[in-house]
Structure 1
Amino acid sequence: MDLRGKQKRYLRSQAHHLQPIFQIGKGGLNAAMIVQIEEALEKRELIKVTLLQNTDEIAEEVAHVLEAETHCDIVQIIGRVLVLFKPSTKEKYQKISKEVKAI
């Protein structure tokens, strides 16, 4: 799903108050973490991921890997914090994606 400017702005406003639920540390991004991020996106649709200072990963590279592996949209990258969005496939979790489609 390609997001338009207004949709991204809405998602950024919704993500502002969220706390990062995943931290990528010195172990880097691995397959198990990608699976967990995918599961979290299925339930929440909008999450934050932060890169700790002791990691060798670069935020833009992590964003591209996550985008390719989980088929999510990168809403925003600020420093070491990524905001990810992916519409849920289950009807009961589609709260944010319904509002995004309406915009």
Structure 2
Amino acid sequence: MLKLTPAERSALRSEAHGLNPVVIIGDAGLTPAVMKEIDASLDAHGLIKVRVFGDDRDARVGMYETICEELGAAPIQHIGKLLVLYRPKKEVQKERSEKRGKGLREVTIIKGSPSGTKRPTVQKVILKGNERVTAGGNIKRAKKRQTSSKKSALDRT
């Protein structure tokens, strides 16, 4: 189980205030599927809320402790049927997308001055996967957008 200082716990409580529950525990209780979903949510978000249906307070406290011990999470807050959990996010390398060259990429555009006597302008731009930079330094789409056959048929009439 992860240990936090009271100041860290207070900061995480205030951050969790605006969150909605991402996992709901029903009548079946803590099944392996629910634990797997909580684990995946903690990896993705770090700080999550879990809603527990059931009126037995002792059972909710038991679930809260079980989740924290098995998943290595820190208990932040338990108010009524809401449980707030924290575990630092895991850093995941996305090498696959870099190899293909898709997604966002940063490009530096250098444009010379019209007269040629002043300094060139340097501009860093983030391009989407379907955009390219022309020789003049303008950004254009690499492919034309697809148009609807129904829409083009209406335009012809």
TM-score using structure 2 length = 0.54
1:6 aligned onto 2:7: yes
Separation in 2, partners of 1:77, 1:42: 20
Could you list the structure 1 runs, at least 4 aligned residues long, displaced by more than 3 angstroms after superposition.
53-57
Offset of residue 5 of structure 1: 0.6
Give unmatched runs, 5+ long, in structure 2: 94-157
1:70 aligned onto 2:71: yes
Offset of residue 80 of structure 1: 1.1
- Contact 1:48–1:81, Cα closer than 8 Å, also in 2: yes
SS at match of 1:82: strand
1:42 aligned onto 2:43: yes
Offset of residue 53 of structure 1: 3.5
- Contact 1:28–1:55, Cα closer than 8 Å, also in 2: no
Greater relative contact order structure (CA < 8 Å, 6+ sep) = 1
Alignment root-mean-square deviation, CA: 2.0
Separation in 2, partners of 1:47, 1:62: 15
Give unmatched runs, 5+ long, in structure 1: 93-103
Q: Report the number of matched residues.
A: 92
Q: Give the equivalent residue in structure 2 for 1:84.
A: 85
Offset of residue 89 of structure 1: 1.9
Separation in 2, partners of 1:48, 1:62: 13
Offset of residue 52 of structure 1: 1.3
Q: Give the equivalent residue in structure 1 for 2:108.
A: none
SS at match of 2:75: strand
Q: Give the equivalent residue in structure 1 for 2:32.
A: 31
Q: Which structure's CA Rg is the greater one?
A: 2
- Contact 1:26–1:56, Cα closer than 8 Å, also in 2: no
SS at match of 1:23: strand
Separation in 2, partners of 1:46, 1:68: 16
Offset of residue 32 of structure 1: 1.1
Instruction: Identify if the C-alpha distance between structure 1 residues 65 and 8 changes in structure 2 by more than 3 Å, giving closer, same or farther.
Output: same
